[in-house]
Amino acid sequence: MGGLFGGGGGGPDMSGQMAAQREENARLKQQADEERRELAEQAAGRVTARRRGGSRMLLADTRLTPETGVEQTLGANKGMGV
């Protein structure tokens, strides 16, 4: 009769389920944190691109002084006195 009023009785062992639930919650929290970090990195990249969009570095040596323009030409324009 002790089982009827909460005393004694051996109920099902829930510790395994609780441990699995804790692991699942930890995994979901880690996944949400990673997604949040990736979104923050993308937003920071967009801000940086917007701020520095017009000041890209040019890799060609002919444009070290862009004020003077490009003096060399390519192709058929070479012999036309330009």
Residue carrying structure tokens 């009785």: 9
pLDDT, residue 49, reads: 83
- Which pLDDT value is given to residue 21? 95
Inter-residue contact 26 to 34 (CB < 8 Å): no
CA distance 14 to 20: 10
pTM of the model: 0.45
Give the CB-side neighbour count of residue 34, counting CA atoms within 13 A: 6
Contact between residue 72 and residue 62 where contact means Cβ atoms under 8 Å apart: yes
Structure tokens at 17: 């389920």
Question: What's the first-to-final CA gap in the chain, in angstroms?
Answer: 108
For the chain, the domains span 15-50
- pLDDT at position 43: 94
**Amino acid in position 20:** A
- Chunked into runs of 10 residues, the chain (82 residues) has average pLDDT values of 61 81 96 97 90 63 61 59 50
